[in-house]
Amino acid sequence: MKIPLNTCPVCGFDQLAESPRNRTGGASMEICSCCGFQFGVSDDDQGVSYDDYRERWIAGGMAWSSKGKKAPKGWNPQTQLGALARLATLKRVKGRPPRFSMQLL
């Protein structure tokens, strides 16, 4: 299973306007309204990995990042991260029953 195209690989927010990376690897330059990661800038220009950024975001209290866009109704950063962790785990242990990994948290 692959992480859905318009899902933020940092925080698991699944309503990005476009895929963070296109098929040729080009960055979307989009800023995730949830965690504030900017694809092509935070990673390429600033050299921050998804994991490092995620850790910082979690340490900072998993706040909604965008000032202009409101969080979706019922938004829950923990549920969102849990879904991302499940996807990541499913990807790693293909063909075996899903295991929950707490590494992301």
Rule CB under 5 A: which residues touch Zn ion?
A: 8, 10-11, 13, 32, 34-35
* Nearest CB to Zn ion, comparing residues 20 and 89: 20
What are the phi and psi torsion angles at 64 (to 5°)? -65, 130
* Nearest CB to Zn ion, comparing residues 13 and 87: 13
Q: How far is the CB of 20 from Zn ion (least distance, A)?
A: 9
Q: How far is the CB of 102 from Zn ion (least distance, A)?
A: 20
Neighbours of 69 (CB within 10 A): 12
Q: How far is the CB of 46 from Zn ion (least distance, A)?
A: 15
Instruction: Give every CB contact of residue 53 below 8 A, 6+ residues apart in sequence.
Output: 10, 35, 37, 42
Give the tokens for residue 68.
């202009």
Give the tokens for residue 101.
């990994």
* Nearest CB to Zn ion, comparing residues 35 and 81: 35
